Every structure is written in C-alpha cells, then in structure tokens.
Structure 1
Amino acid sequence: MTTLKFDLDAQGIATLTIDVPDRGMNVITPELTQELAAAVERVASDAAIKGAIITSGKPGAFVAGADLKDLVTAFDKGIDTVEASKSSFELSALFRRIETCGKPFAAAINGLALGGGFELCLACHYRVLADDPKAVVGLPEVQVGLLPGAGGTQRLPRLIGIINALPLLLQRSHVKPAEALKLGIVHAIAPAAEVAAKAREWLLASPSAEQPWDSKKFRVPGGAGPLAAHAMQSFGAGNALTLANTQGNYPAPHAILSCVFEGTQVPIGTGLRIESKYFGKLLSGAVARNLIRTMFINKGAADKLANRPKNVPKSKVSKLGVLGAGMMGAGIAHVSAKVGIEVVLLDTTQEQADKGKAGIAAKQAKDLKKGKTTQDKVDAILNRIKATADYADLEGCDLIVEAVFENRAIKAEVTDKAEAVIPQTAIFGSNTSTLPITDLATASKRPRQFIGIHFFSPVEKMPLVEIILGEQTSSETLARTLDYVAQIKKTPIVVRDFPGFFTSRVFGTFCAEGQKMLLDGIAPALIENGAKMAGFPVGPLAVSDEVTMFLQQSIYKQQEADNLPEKYRGKVGRPVIDKMVDELKRPGRRFGAGFYDYPQGQPKKLWPGLKQAFPPKAEQPDVSEIKARLLTIMALETARCFEEGVIATPIDADIGSILGIGFPAWTGGTLSYIDTMGIRAFVDECQRLAKTWGPRFEPSDWLLARAHKNEAFYPRSAETETA
C-alpha cells in the first residue's frame, strides 16, 4: 500500500501528500522513507518540475515522527551503537538530499508536526504552518530518552541560534503557531485550508533552493563553540543544571548538549554524522527502551483500556456520588466535574460538604488568575457539583466513590446508607489504599457491583487509578469502572484484592527501608539524597512525613488486628514510627513536625534532633548502597506481588510503580528494572543485600527458579505484551 501520493500540476509544482494507511496519524515508516526518497529523486531529476510541496493527507495532522513500536525493540534485539546510528543517518541523509537536490521544497504543515515530522519540515526551504492552536510543532524526543536523529540538533540551532534552540530540544516539546512564527522556525502561518496555496505561491516566485547554512558566509546566530558569548551559560551552566535535574540517570539531555556543542562548530554534513552517532548510543541503550515501552506504548494501551472486558457495552457516568468531602473526595469530585459529570459531594454535615466544594472553587480561582481557564468554565464546573449531607441526593447516581476515613465500620455505614438510595444498576467503588475490598464488600447487598477505586493524592495531578477486584466483582463492574477512569482522563491498572494491594504494598517498602536505614546508623541526609540520586522525586523520610506516621502506625496496628502473616507486615520500620509518634510526638508535616522541621514561610529542613534520636555511625556507606537498597526492595516486592497474582502483568506493575508511587521513570518501572539488570544479576544483588542488611532481601524459591531459567518478565523478542 502506498504511503505517498505524487501530483504534478501544469505550473511544474509537485505535491507530495503523505498518508500512511491504517494510521490515525502519519508516522515515519520504512515504506514512507522509501517512497519519499523515490519522490525526491523524481523532483530532482525532472527538468519540468520547478519545486515541490510536502503536505499531509490527514486533516489536522502532518507527521508525528517515528513509529515508537519500531524503535522500542532495539535494545532487546541487541542492536549495537553502530547499527542504531545507521538507522538515524539513513533518514538524515534523505532529508539532506531534500535541501541539496537543487529544487526548492516547501512544507505545507496542515497540523501537528513533531519529532521526525518536524525535522522533515526543517529540511524544507520554506515552511508554512496552519494557524490552529492544535497545529503544534516541536522536537520531543528527549521525553522518550532519545534525541532528534534526523537533523533536529543541527538545523534548529543554525536556524534560530543555540541559546533559543536548546530550550526547545531539552524542555519544550510543543510550540504553537504564533510562537513558531515569532521564533523563526516557520516562515508563515495561514488557515489550514490555505497552507498548500501559500506554499505554492512561494514556489512560483522562483525562490532559492539553498539553505542558509550551506552558504560559505553562514555563521550560527549568536555564535558557536567555546568562545561564543553564550557558551558558559548554554553549555557550562547547562550541563550542571541538566546533571542536577537528571542525576545522571537520563543520558539524552547530555547527548543533546554534546550534539549541539560539537555539531555547530563543523559543516552541517559532519554535524549530522555526529548527531547520528549520539542517537545510536541512546537508541541501543536501556533507558530509551524503558521510557518508550512503559511511558508511551504501554501507557497508551492502558489509556485506551486494552485489558477492558470486551463483551461489555461501553458506558459513561452521568451522575457521580462522592462520599467524603475531604482532600481526596473533593479531588475526585473536581476531576469528574471538569469532564462534564454531575457530582453529588456528600459529607456528614452540610458545613463539611461546603468546605470541600469551597476548596475546589479556590483551585479553580487560581487557574483563572493564571489564565488557564475562563469564568464561564469555572462556573460550569462548580454548578455541576452539589454539596450535601443528605443521602437522598444520591438518587440516580451511576457510580458511587466512597472516600471516607480508613475505618471498616465507617465505610460499612456509608455503604449501607448509599445503597438504600442509589439505583440497583449503580456501581459502588471504595477509594481505599489498604483495606481488602472483599472484606469491605460484605457490607454491600450487591457485592458483584462492589470494586476498589484507589486514587492518589493530589487527585488533580496524579495520573494513576488502581482498580482492585474483590472476589465477587463482576466483569461488567470492572468494564464500567475502567470506562469511568478513561472518562476522567486517568490511567488505570487492575490488581487483585490483597492487603495493601499493589501500590501501597510496594510503596510501604520504600518508606520502611528509609526508616530502617536510620536504625542502621545511616545519616538522614545521605538517605534522602541517595533516594533523589536514584531518581525518586523525594526521599523516604520526606514521604513518610507527607503521608504522616500516624497513618503508617495505624496500618501496622490494622495488620496486627487482621492477623496478617508476618511476611506481609513490613515491620522493619515500625520501631522508628512508634518512636516518632509516641515518644517524640513528631508524626508528620500535617502536624508541623516529623523527620523534617517546617518553619513558616521557609523551606523544610531535616530535624537536627534526628542525630540524637537515631545516632549515625562514624562510617557511612557509599551512596550507591542507598540507591541499591531502595530500588531493589521495591522491585523485589513487586516480584512477590507478581508471584502471588496480586498484579497480573508486568505492564500494570511498571505503569503503577512509576505513575502511582514515584519509582524512577528511567528504569521503566519495577519489573523493567529487574529485566534491565538481568534477572540473574538481580537475584545475586538481592542475596548480597540480604547478607548485609537482612533477610527481607532474600529472593523467593519462585524467583530463584525463574532466574535459573533466565526468564525475563517481558518476552525478550516482543515489543510489548499488548502492542
């Protein structure tokens, strides 16, 4: 099937229309590359052709870049740097042929153009972009652990200068039309229906077919190399800032800086070879594979509800009941009302319910002040939310999300009251992080319609929702719940019922390990900095303060009351929690004091008294040991969850660990971390840590047997389990 249509008009203008079949968005495929190369040669060799327009046959979209499903397999296939570099340079050479073939090319960018799609535009001699806010352009490859490998790091700095190009290469992936014109990365903007005509008008004016950087007099705007006025800021400070932001875990930003620094000092042909060399290093590495597979391919599949039961009709929630108007309940109400759902926000008193709605109004007011929304939209959102203390207002709700205090008796009471009012077809979801769903469902008269819906705080910002299946939860209930999660634009994972489920159970090991380090005599600052250097957003002591040690202590007590088996109690941090809460009276940030002090109007600081409460040893471990303990204990607990069937797929484990509990994205998630290290090497590391720090690191017989067979969690030859 053809991916490119070639038309030649009477005035000698060729139009190359890209339309990759069976794709909602054009992507650069081997077939497209081959057909585009042939079309360029036809333009170059035919004297009757004056010039060419490159455009898209898909309304509102030009080209989105390379197909990530093609790129993600490089690491698993063992493709080396040289081979990976070739794939980049072949496309780069094609784009170079476009700009040096002697005929002018114009890009009629009728919509979104990102990555390789925008690099194709940059190789054209003239670019006209649709004047539509959705018609963004940019080079977002750094987000997938790569760099623009078809000239982006070379043409963009030569076009607008290094100091202007670096933010677009390192940070900002999408540029809207007006700003693209102002920056000079497009020559003109026009209504979408007129971009091709505007491009043809330019071609008929007999323009030059030479790019500025091919002129002998060309100089990079603002200068290049170590003597450029901006060099210290761009590369000295830039490298330092990049290292501070990435902790060396993400190689792409450093590679981009190196490409720009080295490549802009030499002719563009040499610069393109430098770019391809760095691209090859990144593509053949694990970080790009991990980011592409988990954060884009697998997350995209999860967002599209790839694992939704197929035999259940699609559904939408029209009216939602939220029980509990605290921070969590109000957040759930907020995100639901924003997508057009009518919400009943219920609490024990009208005052409490009104307080929850007032918090939503305050957040909307901040967005309004920042220009992120309009007054009409704010009014519409707030009008959809009814704050009440009357259960009768729940009548007609399609779904209930209970978000009351983590107490069985309270949850049972509100379940009974809500079910007395809501329709027989309604679903009841409990937003619990630790209490077993099957147990909570005993308070329901309809356990097949009872499910766990675990949100993360703050709801407005956290993208994950953990769906927990009770023993009697029906496939219809699961399907409808997944539909609701998609409706509010969150990413779902599905787990089996178990105390702590998946995310809370694995997250608990992170907090507990940090607390155990205090007992081991490790300095608090080393614990926290080691976690950040591993790629965690905050350290385990800071996180413990945020969730409060009162909550952690209550979980320990609930585990005792439930007679939970010892191996699931995670007791290694218990002595620290009890001392902080009961003896030192420092239960966390909400109470003004925890592992950190919280001086008013100033940044938090580690509490100096920690040195007396948990004296550090004279000899401290290397920071690499801190990183290893935290990463390994969470990955090992995930493997245990997988072994026990709490989590059914490595995809859900990886998405959940990154989006829900902050496991470093560069790893691809907890199970990708094991696969990247190699399961045999991981088991060896577990056994080493067990000898040094305790039996909690011992791998199970199941994991040992898996390591003996060298059985990875992901199939080595497959892209993903869903793609």
Structure 2
Amino acid sequence: MSDVVTYSREGNVGLITVNYPPVNALSHAVRSGLVAALEQGQKDSEAKVLLLLCEGRTFIAGADIREFGKPMQEPGLPAVVEQFENSDKPLVAAIHGTALGGGLEVALGCDYRVALSSARVGLPEVKLGLLPGAGGTQRLPRLTGAQKALEMITTGNFVSAKDALAAGIVDSVEDGGDVKAAGLAYAQKVADEDKPVRRVRDLTDKVDADKGSDVFEQFRTALQKKARGQFAPFKCVDAVEAAFTLPFADGMKRERELFMECMDSPQRAGLIHSFFAEREVSKVKGLPKDTPVRDVNSVGIIGAGTMGGGIAMNFANVGIPVTIVEMKQEALDKGLGIIRKNYENSAKKGRITQQQVEDRMALITGSLDYDDFKDKDLIIEAVFENMAVKKEIFTRLDSVCKPGAILASNTSTLDIDEIASATKRPEDVVGMHFFSPANVMKLLENVRGSKTSDEVKATVMAVARKIKKVGVMVGNCHGFVGNRMLHKRGAEAMALVNEGATPQQVDKVLTDLGYPMGQFAMSDLAGIDVGYRIREELRNAGENVAPSWMDKLAEQNRLGQKTMAGVYKYEEGSRKPIPDPEVEKIIGEFRKEQGITPRDITDQEILERCMYVMVNEAAKILEEGIADRALDIDVVWIYGYGFPAYRGGPMFWADQIGLDVILAAVEKYHREVGADHWEPAALLKQLVADGKKFGDL
C-alpha cells in the first residue's frame, strides 16, 4: 500500500486516510493507494463501515498538476471511483476544505457524504477546457437533478456545504473543525442503523423527474451568450444530458467520448497554458524568494472618482482600512456615494449581506487633508493622466508620508521614474496600474521604476494576492505592457476605419476572435476622454500625434457610455453599442479632410493588422525586458483586456498561428502601411530563423 494512503480501524469503522500535502491531489500514488486501502478495508472482517477522509487542510482538491501532460498511469480515476462504488460495505466520505474535480468524483463514488460547514465542492474542469471524466457528469445529476448539475458543471463554480446539502450532494453538514470526528460520528450512525450500500449510479428519482425536460436546450441557448466561442461548456451539456437519455454504463461511455473530444481541442491547450501562466507570474525574475515584505495594514487613496473608488473597495473587501482624499467635499461625497451604491447593488444580488455593506463602508473614510496619510503604509494616487499634476501630488506625499510608506501611482501610461523624481525616496515609488472597473477586473499591473527597491516590488506583488488580484510585475515605458500593445492595436483600428472599414466591422472581428468587446466599444466603456487626454499629453510633450476623428468625438462631449454617446450610441439602462449615423458622418468628413478615398477591407486584413501588430510590439517588449516572459504578457492580456483564456493569451496564440506566418505579414504591412510600429522586431525574426516559439524563451 502507498505511504500517502493508509488503512486503519477505530471500532467497527475502517479508515482510509489520504495524506499527500499540500492538497491531497490525485497523483498516481494516491490513486494506487486508494485502491489498496479499499481492498484492505473490504477484507477487514471487523470493519462494518469504511470512512474516507484526508489529512491536512483539505479533502482531495483535484488532479495532480505535476502530472499534467504526462501519460496516465493505471489505475485511472474512473476505475478507482468504480471500485469505490462497487464496495460491498457502506462507504462514507468526510469532506473538509474543498472537494474539487476528481476529488468530488471520488466522494460521489461513496455511498454517503458528510461535510464540515466550511467545506466547498465543485467540478471545475470546464475552466481547463475539459469536462469531469470520472463519472461526474453521470453521478452528480442523479443527486441534484439536471438544473443544478448543469449550473455546476458548465460554470465550474464551487458551492458551499450548505448549498451542497440543499442540492442533495452531501447527506449531512457539521459545524466545527474536526473532520475526523464528524466522519466517525456519521460512519458510526451508518453502522448502528445498519444503513445499506447506496450506490449513486442506482439512484433514479431525479433522473426520471427531468427526463424530457427542455432544460438542456435552455442551457445551450444561454451558453451561446455566456460561453460564446467556447468548446467545453457545450460538451458538458451533452454529457449531462446523456445521464437522462442513456443507461448508466452507456452514459459513462458517452462521457469518456466527450472528454476525449475536449482533450483533443486546442482550447484545452490554451486554458492549461493560462492556468499555469497565472501561477507562474507571481515569481518575479531576479527577485529573491526571501525578499522582505512590508506590512500593509492601512491604505490611502488620492481621488474618489471611478478608479479611486474601485481601488478603495478592493482593500475594504479584505478588511484593510482606507482613507480617500479629494480636493472638494462635493467630489468626495459623490465618490463615497457611488461606493455605497456599488455595495448595495451587490447586496441586492445576494453576493454580500447588508451587514457586510456596512462593515466595508465603515473601513472607508473620506478626507480633504493630505495630513491624514501620515501614518498610512501604502498610498495610491488615482487622478487623471497629467504628469504635472501627478508630480505635484508626489511632492506633497513625500513631505507628509512616514518613512517606509510605499507611494504608488495608478497611471496607465506615464513614466514612473519621472513621477518618482518628484520625491526624495524613488526607491519607495512604484506603479500599481488597476484596470477599470477596479473592484471587478482581476489584473494588477505592477510597474517597477529604475530605482524601485526589491522590498517594494515584493510588497506590491503580495498586496495583489491579498486583494485577490493577479499581479504581474512589468518594466517602465510608455503604456507599460498592456497599454503599449493596446495603443498599437488602437492605431491600426483607427487606420482601418480611416481607410474604409466601419467601427462595428473592426469590433466584430475582435469579438469573433473571442474578446468580450471590440476596440471601439472598449473605448466607449473606458471613456473617450481618457485616450483624448493621453494624446493631448503626448502632443504637449512635443510628440507627433496624428489627428483623429476620435478627438472630434471628445470635443463634442461624446465620451462613451457615461454620456450615452461615443463611437456608438446607447439607450438608457443598456450597455449595448448601437451604430450611430452621426459618427459615420464625422468619419466621412474626416476622410475628406485628410484626402482619403475609402476602400473595401476584408475581415482577414482587420484580424492581421489588429493582432499581428500587437504580437510584433510584444516581441519588442520582451527584447527590452519590459516583460520578463511571454507568459507575463499573456496574463496581462487575459485578465486586463479580455483576451480569450481559451486561446492562451496573445503570445501563446501567436505560437499556434506560426511565427513565420506572422513575420511574413508584419513585413508585408511594413512595406504597405509604412508605420514605424510595423518594423519587424528583432526577436521575432530571430525566433523564426531559429525555428523557435515565444514559449521556448
């Protein structure tokens, strides 16, 4: 028997105990150990009931990621679950922490399930482009019915022990923290009451009740919007439906067929890459693991606008008190009111309680006085993009804040070193670029200046984890990683419209690729005035920024969704972009002013010019060391800009397209378009010459 799974007995209860830190993942050793321990329990004549439980902080939390991509060694998980289900002695699973994926499938192979009240269960395989492949799609609906099973399996979301009890997934929920005691008590009850073996596969009530239901078609219809372009969620529906249309054994065969289709899908490769990339970005190149991290127990924020308010919510959500400073009481009151409204809306949707609304609001204090920052550990400036204003603010912060306080700017484009030059402590200055809406978007682009200390770098990465963001450390240049690439895509999108495309055609190409919205709809969401201010800032700095019809929109106060009109128009209460003839007229007038004769532009040209220009720019970003790895760029774009995770990020996607194909197109557009950003990156040329990919770096 494996060392990671042991068998023992207490009274007439046989204990199968998994101990494979940190999360008792289903490695080959665990699978083999489960089978061996089960066999031992079956032979133990003194054991009337068998109890499966885990040591450490969690029940079996899923597959062993160390075995991803390697050939499966026998026994496979479906066989393990089947052997558990075939036990001639009742089996009880005692769940604490999380029972996820294969872990929940093992529990479903048991006859009874008891969970601590703090436990959660789920089948998250869809998030890796897969479906549960060890009977989860066949057994779960036999306990929950079709609706709940479909909800859990197509979203991959976890459910609480309380909800699992209500859904029929577990049979009992116990308070307290002793999972062994809870499991033994329930197992003893099974023994004392002489409860029979109760195999999930034999349960038919929920299946019979939902046979012929239209719930499957309803889910497919809903997924057309929620999971547009994705492969696995639709296969999940097919697999669950098989539980209601086929005998169990045939349903298991159908699940395996659909599982293999998902395994063969390129989307699975993209999602697996995204999964590992998200974990890898926390490791910052050149930053020792033992770098000290400063305490951040209080935060100051400058600006109560959309960004400042959203940033404040991130800290209040995790119990860190925040002081927001504004210039005028009216602006402060408005900002605090919006924060409360956001929390109240979350409470109405059941995401938080009313008490949590009040608790979080109590952690956010408004002020008009910079002196209220004097004891703060971290101060984040979140005002509009103007270098002179930001330098003035940092000069004031330098004079007020305590030694060791971290001074951060939420700038999306400006030079962190120039901002830091306004202080006597550039080593404490860093960029913390949140994405709008800051209380929702997961990315935090942490920007190191040339003098930012390792301690500050380590601290802001730790802060990202604390406030449940995906932190990526990047270097300092105009636009950093995300916006630098976005600006190149934006320039091409603008050029394409100038040359004859419509904004909606450009946007459709991008949404067909998998983005939640296109370039121009995104401009409306962010606010057209944001880009306008950036262009004005560059013009004021002497940069040669071409005229744009977008400038005309800003000058006419068509600022996007917030004014109900931008590139598109919007109806009250709706975020759906509607093409506007007025904008077509503005674009037409601009073309005449510039002497442009519009032409027909294909969707393929739009795809190449919008996407390949980004890949080329990303190669330059890697050359310059602004990003340390291609996967850093992938994570920035997945979590900050809505790049479809199932395509793995722009660099992974480029590798799939073929860097030789992309280089040939870049060289073609460099000849035809002539813009500097089409100058082929040296790294791109080198990778093609060497027959390598970005993933090989």
Verify same fold: TM over 0.5. yes
1:148-180 deviations in Å (ceiling 9; x for gaps): 011101112333333442122112522222332
Q: Shift of residue 30 of structure 1?
A: 0.7
Provide the C-alpha distance between the structure 1 equivalents of 2:62 and 2:563, rounded to a whole number of angstroms: 49
1:66 corresponds to which residue?
Answer: 63
TM-score of the pair, normalised by structure 1: 0.86
2:4 corresponds to which residue?
Answer: 3
Q: Shift of residue 698 of structure 1?
A: 5.5
Instruction: Tell which deviates more after alignment, 269-278 or 703-712.
Output: 269-278
Provide the C-alpha distance between the structure 1 equivalents of 2:481 and 2:190, rounded to a whole number of angstroms: 59
2:252 corresponds to which residue?
Answer: 272
2:39 corresponds to which residue?
Answer: 41
Instruction: Tell which deviates more after alignment, 450-459 or 541-550.
Output: 541-550
Q: Shift of residue 147 of structure 1?
A: 0.7
Gapped regions of structure 2 (runs ≥ 5): 592-596
Describe the shift of the 1:305–1:639 C-alpha distance in structure 2 as closer, same or farther (beyond 3 A). closer
Match among 231, 239, 242 for residue 251 of structure 1: 231
Instruction: Tell which deviates more after alignment, 610-619 or 490-499.
Output: 610-619
Alignment of 1:406-417 (within 5 A): 406-417=385-396
2:223 corresponds to which residue?
Answer: 242
Provide the C-alpha distance between the structure 2 equivalents of 1:8 and 1:575, rounded to a whole number of angstroms: 77
Describe the shift of the 1:471–1:528 C-alpha distance in structure 2 as closer, same or farther (beyond 3 A). same
Match among 459, 462, 468 for residue 483 of structure 1: 462
2:106 maps to 1:120: yes
1:80 corresponds to which residue?
Answer: none
Match among 163, 174, 187 for residue 171 of structure 2: 187
Q: Shift of residue 35 of structure 1?
A: 0.9
- Whether the 8 Å contact between 1:246 and 1:535 is mirrored in structure 2 is no
Instruction: Give the partner amino acid of 2:338.
Output: G
2:485 partner SS: helix
Provide the C-alpha distance between the structure 1 equivalents of 2:5 and 2:615, rounded to a whole number of angstroms: 46
Provide the C-alpha distance between the structure 2 equivalents of 1:423 and 1:704, rounded to a whole number of angstroms: 49
Instruction: Tell which deviates more after alignment, 425-434 or 168-177.
Output: 168-177
Match among 54, 57, 64 for residue 56 of structure 1: 54
2:183 maps to 1:199: no
RCO (CA 8 Å, sep 6+): is it higher in 1 or 2? 1
1:221 partner SS: helix
Instruction: Give the partner amino acid of 2:441.
Output: M
2:26 corresponds to which residue?
Answer: 28
1:631-671 deviations in Å (ceiling 9; x for gaps): 33333322221122211122321111111122221122122
- Whether the 8 Å contact between 2:521 and 2:577 is mirrored in structure 1 is no
1:175 corresponds to which residue?
Answer: 159
- Whether the 8 Å contact between 1:518 and 1:524 is mirrored in structure 2 is yes
1:185-214 deviations in Å (ceiling 9; x for gaps): 223333443233212321454444362645
1:229 corresponds to which residue?
Answer: 212
2:15 corresponds to which residue?
Answer: 15
- Whether the 8 Å contact between 2:430 and 2:448 is mirrored in structure 1 is yes
Q: Shift of residue 604 of structure 1?
A: 4.3
2:245 partner SS: coil
Instruction: Give the partner amino acid of 2:439.
Output: E
- Whether the 8 Å contact between 1:303 and 1:490 is mirrored in structure 2 is no
Q: Shift of residue 27 of structure 1?
A: 1.0
1:609 partner SS: helix
2:82 corresponds to which residue?
Answer: 96
1:641 corresponds to which residue?
Answer: 621
2:130 partner SS: coil
- Whether the 8 Å contact between 1:316 and 1:487 is mirrored in structure 2 is no
Alignment of 1:486-497 (within 5 A): 486-497=465-476
2:551 maps to 1:578: yes
- Whether the 8 Å contact between 1:55 and 1:196 is mirrored in structure 2 is no
Provide the C-alpha distance between the structure 2 equivalents of 1:31 and 1:688, rounded to a whole number of angstroms: 54
Instruction: Give the partner amino acid of 2:146.
Output: I
Match among 624, 635, 645 for residue 665 of structure 1: 645
2:594 corresponds to which residue?
Answer: none
- Whether the 8 Å contact between 1:316 and 1:483 is mirrored in structure 2 is no
TM-score of the pair, normalised by structure 2: 0.89
- Whether the 8 Å contact between 1:107 and 1:127 is mirrored in structure 2 is yes
Describe the shift of the 1:341–1:9 C-alpha distance in structure 2 as closer, same or farther (beyond 3 A). closer
1:359-400 deviations in Å (ceiling 9; x for gaps): 323333334445544555444433443322222222222222
Q: Shift of residue 596 of structure 1?
A: 1.1
Gapped regions of structure 1 (runs ≥ 5): 75-82, 717-723
Provide the C-alpha distance between the structure 2 equivalents of 1:6 and 1:347, rounded to a whole number of angstroms: 63
Describe the shift of the 1:690–1:269 C-alpha distance in structure 2 as closer, same or farther (beyond 3 A). farther
Provide the C-alpha distance between the structure 2 equivalents of 1:586 and 1:371, rounded to a whole number of angstroms: 35
2:690 maps to 1:709: yes
Q: Shift of residue 492 of structure 1?
A: 1.3
2:329 maps to 1:350: yes
**Number of residue equivalences:** 683
- Whether the 8 Å contact between 2:53 and 2:93 is mirrored in structure 1 is yes
Instruction: Give the partner amino acid of 2:14.
Output: A
Describe the shift of the 1:244–1:351 C-alpha distance in structure 2 as closer, same or farther (beyond 3 A). closer
Instruction: Tell which deviates more after alignment, 410-419 or 94-103.
Output: 94-103
Instruction: Give the partner amino acid of 1:666.
Output: Y
1:608 corresponds to which residue?
Answer: 581
Match among 259, 271, 287 for residue 291 of structure 1: 271
Instruction: Give the partner amino acid of 2:80.
Output: L
Describe the shift of the 1:636–1:351 C-alpha distance in structure 2 as closer, same or farther (beyond 3 A). same
Provide the C-alpha distance between the structure 1 equivalents of 2:290 and 2:140, rounded to a whole number of angstroms: 49
Provide the C-alpha distance between the structure 2 equivalents of 1:320 and 1:189, rounded to a whole number of angstroms: 39
Describe the shift of the 1:97–1:697 C-alpha distance in structure 2 as closer, same or farther (beyond 3 A). farther
Q: What is the percentage of aligned positions where both structures have the same residue?
A: 31
Describe the shift of the 1:278–1:697 C-alpha distance in structure 2 as closer, same or farther (beyond 3 A). farther
- Whether the 8 Å contact between 1:322 and 1:345 is mirrored in structure 2 is yes
Provide the C-alpha distance between the structure 2 equivalents of 1:676 and 1:106, rounded to a whole number of angstroms: 46
1:116-142 deviations in Å (ceiling 9; x for gaps): 011001111222222x1x311121111
1:63 partner SS: coil
1:428 partner SS: strand
Instruction: Tell which deviates more after alignment, 588-597 or 27-36.
Output: 588-597
1:482-526 deviations in Å (ceiling 9; x for gaps): 333333332211111111111111222343333333223224433
Instruction: Tell which deviates more after alignment, 152-161 or 598-607.
Output: 598-607
Provide the C-alpha distance between the structure 1 equivalents of 2:171 and 2:286, rounded to a whole number of angstroms: 45
Alignment of 1:293-442 (within 5 A): 293-294=273-274, 296-302=275-281, 308-374=287-353, 377-442=356-421
- Whether the 8 Å contact between 2:16 and 2:38 is mirrored in structure 1 is no
Instruction: Tell which deviates more after alignment, 149-158 or 320-329.
Output: 320-329
Q: Shift of residue 273 of structure 1?
A: 2.8
